[in-house]
Amino acid sequence: MRRLVYALIPLSLPLMGCVQASPYEAEIAEVQAQENLGLTGLPVAEEIALGRQVASSQCADCHGIDKEDARRTDAPALRYILADYDGDALAEDFRDGLKVGHPEMPQFQFGPKSTDLLLSYLISIQEPDPSIHVTDEG
């Protein structure tokens, strides 16, 4: 039994060093944070929160917010928007002044940053549209 204990001691010494914090921990955290940046250069979580504010003030009255259903029957819920629209094309429409859908749809013109914030939020809440049926014809 003693031989087994003596044999395991050299193996456990390197593992003990793993518990200590790396001297580069702050630099590693900074790099990881930079890798989590969104479309505007802000952290993704912050972009989503700011984009939600844009959606709440500009879109929610008709399209709902988060996982809500649309409040108008002729407006898609925000969580399904990207099932019907390409994200890049929708961003261009937002920048150019969106006028689609129904006659009561207000015309919106977002700047580049607001557009990217809104798009980050929309991407974060997307779900497959249950009204679109995909079949495997292969």
- For residues 44 and 93, the model is more confident at 44
Which residue reads 């031989």 in tokens?
3
The answer to the question of residue 21 being in a domain is no
- 77 within 8 A of 90, measured Cβ to Cβ: no
The answer to the question of residue 94 being in a domain is yes
Q: Residue 54: which domain range? A: 44-125
The answer to the question of residue 80 being in a domain is yes
pTM of the full structure: 0.67
DSSP string, 82-125: HHHS-HHHHHHHHHH-B--SSTTPPPB---HHHHHHHHHHHHHH
- Please tell me the total count of domains within the chain: 1
Which residue reads 């809440």 in tokens?
125
The answer to the question of residue 71 being in a domain is yes
The answer to the question of residue 15 being in a domain is no
> What pLDDT is attached to residue 129?
79
pLDDT band with cut points at 50, 70 and 90 for residue 122: very high
The answer to the question of residue 29 being in a domain is no
> What pLDDT is attached to residue 25?
64
The answer to the question of residue 6 being in a domain is no
The answer to the question of residue 99 being in a domain is yes
- For residues 132 and 55, the model is more confident at 55
Close Cβ partners of 127 (under 8 Å, ≥ 6 residues apart): 67, 79, 80
CATH number assigned to the domain comprising residue 77: 1.10.760.10
